[in-house]
Structure 1
Amino acid sequence: MAEERMTDTGQAEQEAGLSVVATSTDGIRVLSLAGEIDHHTGDQLRRALDVTGAVRPRTVIDMCQVTFMDSTGINILIAAYRAVTEAGGWLRLAGPTDSVLRVLHIVGVDDIIECHPTLHEAMAS
């Protein structure tokens, strides 16, 4: 197995209810989220997912600490998926909690965006 190199980009934001930490591993952006994704925190996630100017962006969103997500989060994920795909890259979700996975499944996002049980599997696939 190839050695994973983790580089902290120093980008960490926290608003009431959501923490976003951006790191990079072997050219893959990893956004580690903790808390709630809703209309109060959506702009923070939208900014973190911005791929403007990125060449073939590859992004994994680690959702193992997301406790709640409403339609705001669903819309942001779909918009980010479209932007990343149009730029020739990909977007994957890792480790969504049961409640978040249920929402993703109900609305069919898990049929559009790859969901993996762990961060390691999302990075390796």
Structure 2
Amino acid sequence: MIEIATSPATTTLVITGDLDLAERDQFPEIAARVVGLRRQLLVIDMCAVTFMDSTGAAFLISLADSGRKRGGATVLRGTSDRDLFVLEVCGALDLFRIDRAHRCTDEFPLQGSTS
């Protein structure tokens, strides 16, 4: 599940569960909504992501690339080491700012992280 919240300058996506091939049908609609909001900062909260494959990574990469083309930035928070590795293997980690100060709540413990 992906929820979208906005403020005057920021769009926040809160992702819960798997971000993978099985969820891809919702990606185009969500991407269109995020791009249509035209906020300079996109924050992607991944505290509750249980699994991400290359399809999920491609979705995040497309969001970050769209924002960058408009002069915006994309921040990942609550991202597990495993998910950062997937983005690194895709050669896309430099598209994102990583919020290393964020601490997930007990309700959504950071999955697979060693830091």
- TM-score normalised by structure 2 residue count: 0.72
Give yes or no for the alignment of 1:79 onto 2:62: yes
Which of 62, 74, 85 aligns to 1:102? It is 85
Which of 20, 27, 47 aligns to 2:9? It is 27
Q: Measure, in 2, the Cα distance between the counterparts of 1:52 and 1:25.
A: 14
Deviation at residue 108 of structure 1 after TM alignment = 3.5
CA contact (8 A) 1:23 1:29 kept: yes
Q: Measure, in 2, the Cα distance between the counterparts of 1:119 and 1:40.
A: 28
Q: What is residue 15 of structure 1 aligned with on the other side?
A: none
Q: What is residue 42 of structure 2 aligned with on the other side?
A: 59
Bigger relative contact order (CA 8 A; separation at least 6): 2
What is the SS of the residue equivalent to 1:64? strand
Q: Which amino acid aligns with 2:98?
A: C
Identity of aligned residues (%): 32
Q: Which amino acid aligns with 1:115?
A: I
Instruction: Detail structure 1 runs of 4+ shifted over 6 Å in the superposition.
Output: none
Q: Which amino acid aligns with 2:90?
A: V
- Structure holding more strand per residue: 1
Please give the root-mean-square deviation of Cα atoms over the aligned residues, in Å. Answer: 2.3
Q: What is residue 111 of structure 1 aligned with on the other side?
A: 94
Gaps of 5+ in 2: 105-115
